[in-house]
Amino acid sequence: MTHTAKGPVHGPVKLADRSMTSRRQFLQTSAAFGAAGMAGLGVTRARAQSRVEISFASAAFFGKESFGDLCDTFNESQDRIFVRFIELPPPSSSTEVFQGLVQQLARADGTPDVFSQDVIWIAGFAEAGWALPLGEYFPDTKDYFSGTVAACTYNNQLTALPWFMDSGMLYYRRDILEKMGAEVPTTWDQMATLAAAAQGAGDAEFGYLWQGKQAEVLVCDAVEIITSNNGAILAADGKSALVNQPEAVAAIQFLYDTIATTKISPQNVLSWDEEPSRMPFTAGRGTFMRNWSYVYPIAQDPAASDVVDKVGVAPLPAFDGGKSAACLGGYQLGINANSKYREAAVEFLTWLSSAEVQQRIALNFGLAPTRANLFDDATIKAEQPFMASLQSVFTGATARPITPKYSEVSLALQSGISKAFVSGNVQAEMDALATEINRIVA
């Protein structure tokens, strides 16, 4: 099975792909069990009625399989618990997935019992009392990177269980850089110069592909470029906005200029989130791209990519005097505080967060483990070599503002930065945005 051919995996989901994957899994399982297996599956279904049924809601990540397939494996592995998978929109619709989950959790009826949460929702869910404190059930977190444990902790309580990490990175066309005799750029100016040169030489239509859509991913792109100029969204105490300070304004100005001045990016980036920016890159139409790690296995899949073995991955560039920065992303696990089936939920989470499942997610989805020793896993090293080489990018990634008001801050950022891209009045729009953020966090 390949990825969903050249279609979206992080963007809008084709439901047919999901059912095809399940069907394949079903056939494989049946084959493995032989004729008795078919009967066995019938038994499983009958037995499901006497099982404790819990629900698991998650954004629909897709790779070589789906999270529904993980649930199928769990359901097949024992006969006491049955997990019903509730598939939410893809992670690129982070804001919409959040709003849907908020509506469900606010009903306080125990559904879903278990959920995955974008790292940015953890504080808000904990503050609302919707996420069960997990310290009692998972006292030992020493196998996880300390940064992800910190991201899962709110008010000194573990309210989420580390699952997988995401971080922004620079994809580049190794063959184009080699042809130019160029090194991988470490500054934004170097990147822009090389991108323009490759466009001029006709090597790639687009110089730099990024995500300018008014969506959560725009906040991620902004956090990275602002941090790489020694700027920040909020001051360290979380109480005042820094988005209108010179470092942040120059960083947003750079992104605006990629479209308006240097023209290394097409106007279309303003409507692109992850997949629309990924597709031209793996079709061989771009020299550089900022994206998450899920792209790597797609770029290496001949069924989905025209640039197999031509793509390199590196830390994102920085401004002169600044340091490369990656935005911390990824989804962590949570139990609904109102779940009536805590024990079953804990058992499912124990399995879902295990080394075995994290390895499967790394291999089949290109999402990095939160268990530190998996970065030395031989299979992961062989199939996803970028994970080990960029380990410090993952572990050193910059968090988006950690506040229970995050969703409001994010919406303000999405709208304010979009306005700057449309009007080109970057300073004025960042001033207005700072006023708005200050009002929210006051």
Closer CB to ligand GLC, residue 125 or residue 341?
A: 125
341-370 residues in contact with ligand GLC (CB under 6 A) are none
The answer to whether 397 and 328 are in contact (CB under 8 A) is: yes
The answer to whether 295 and 171 are in contact (CB under 8 A) is: yes
Ordered DSSP codes for 311-360: EEEEPPPB-TT-----BEE-EEEEEBTT-S-HHHHHHHHHHHTSHHHHHH
Query: What is the 8-class DSSP label of residue 245?
Result: S
414-434 burial code (b ≥16 CB/10 A, e <16): bebbbbbbeeeebeebbbbbb
Residue 424, phi-psi category: left (phi > 0), alpha (psi -120 to 50), beta (remainder): left
Closer CB to ligand GLC, residue 86 or residue 176?
A: 86
Determine the length of the chain.
442
The answer to whether 119 and 328 are in contact (CB under 8 A) is: yes
Closer CB to ligand GLC, residue 177 or residue 220?
A: 220
Size of the site for ligand GLC (CB under 6 A): 13
88-127 residues in contact with ligand GLC (CB under 6 A) are 91-92, 94, 118-120
CB of 172 to ligand GLC, least distance (A): 20
Binding mask 408-437 for ligand GLC (x = CB under 6 A): ------------------------------
Query: What is the 8-class DSSP label of residue 7?
Result: S
H or E element in which residue 48 lies: helix 15-48
Closer CB to ligand GLC, residue 275 or residue 347?
A: 275
Cα–Cα distance, 341 to 353 (Å, whole number): 18
The only residue of 87, 166, 224, 429 in contact with ligand GLC, by rule CB under 6 A: 166
CB of 215 to ligand GLC, least distance (A): 6
Cα–Cα distance, 113 to 335 (Å, whole number): 6
326 touches ligand GLC by CB under 6 A: no
Closer CB to ligand GLC, residue 118 or residue 347?
A: 118
> Which structure tokens are listed for 12?
């809008």
Strand-pair partners of 187: 318
329 touches ligand GLC by CB under 6 A: yes
217 touches ligand GLC by CB under 6 A: yes
220 touches ligand GLC by CB under 6 A: yes
401 touches ligand GLC by CB under 6 A: no
316 touches ligand GLC by CB under 6 A: no
380 touches ligand GLC by CB under 6 A: no
Given the rule CB under 6 A, which residues bind ligand GLC?
A: 91-92, 94, 118-120, 166, 216-217, 220, 292, 329-330
